[in-house]
Structure 1
């Protein structure tokens, strides 16, 4: 259902990924940490949002079993027009899990959208263990996505989300560069092309400093050298993709 990449800038969406042990452990920790935020018994929302119906859908099954259809509409409206930060934090572990699995297309269920939501909800004032739990999920998801195939996952939205939240992504970027698999290289190819697409839109970059640093890294010589090395071992049907990224990369200089 989702063949294109990088919700954050190209308008596409992430892909399905089955959480591995590290990511699953991070998700389990998030459920434990946020368990103190109880299930809401009411949602403050305008009548046109039908808060009673929303609440009924959100509380009909255990949190871990909430479907995309049940939680998806809430994900986009949370805190702006429906409920408060406490309500959102109750559902956040499930939203993180759906983002990792990549099988929910509703607004507010993609990694970078989730990052912006938690920032809107006062992330920097939340207890340290809550902030750490969210960052750990993003880090584990990004690390796993680096090694996934292009039709399974992509690391860029997770890295962008981390940067939006002010977390360091330097170790993950180094791991990405060091990964010598074809999949890791092709993810880098697509990230460079995504960055080129964003650059052509023009306008002042008002993103967080950490996001700007991520974008500069994608434009840098280390990434370009990795693409040049990838060109030598890419299969014939992927050469065009690598060459296109190298052309875009050269234009950054």
Structure 2
């Protein structure tokens, strides 16, 4: 991973740290009591300790059936950090599709810029990685 990408990940955490989510995240009524279990599991660890297995279910269901855009913003830095580590918590396109669903192009300018910079830094890192 390039130093540029590492720096950008730090910026993602700093930019989105104001968004908090919690074990009362809403979701589809179809999930019933499962939702309480999922919320308990995903908030069992601090954000930076969640791994791809911890975030897999959430990433696939984010915004469409579990949580809102603000909840997604809470998890976004960790989802992108895992993606940069090639430990994507779901198929890679899903995480980026959630940006579209959350209408990210209308988010505050600083949030849009840090995401765009992440995309460029991720691409640069992948292209130049010889491993």
Structure 2 length as normaliser, TM-score? 0.90
Partner of 2:31: 48
Partner of 1:182: none
* 1:66 corresponds to 2:50: yes
- 1:20 and 1:74 mapped to 2: Cα distance? 27
Secondary structure of the residue aligned to 2:17 is helix
CA-CA distance at 1:115 after TM superposition: 2.1
- 2:89 and 2:8 mapped to 1: Cα distance? 22
With CA pairs under 8 Å and 6+ residues apart, which has the higher RCO, 1 or 2? 2
Structure 2 regions of 5+ residues with no counterpart? none
- 1:39 and 1:84 mapped to 2: Cα distance? 10
Given that 1:58 and 1:70 are in contact with CA atoms closer than 8 Å, whether structure 2 keeps it comes out as yes
- 1:131 and 1:60 mapped to 2: Cα distance? 29
- 1:71 and 1:56 mapped to 2: Cα distance? 13
* 1:88 corresponds to 2:72: yes
Q: Deviations over 1:55-78 (max 9, x none)?
A: 112111111110111111100100
Partner of 2:125: 144
- 2:100 and 2:40 mapped to 1: Cα distance? 27
Partner of 1:186: none
Q: Deviations over 1:93-143 (max 9, x none)?
A: 000011111123524xx1x33222111101111111111111111110101
Q: Deviations over 1:159-200 (max 9, x none)?
A: xxxxxxxxxxxxxxxxxxxxxxxxxxxxxxxxxxxxxxxxxx
Partner of 2:99: 118
Structure 1 regions of 5+ residues with no counterpart? 1-18, 153-253
Which one of 84, 90, 99 corresponds to residue 83 of structure 2?
A: 99
- Over aligned residues, Cα RMSD in angstroms? 1.6
- 2:89 and 2:115 mapped to 1: Cα distance? 20
Structure 1 length as normaliser, TM-score? 0.48
Partner of 2:110: 129
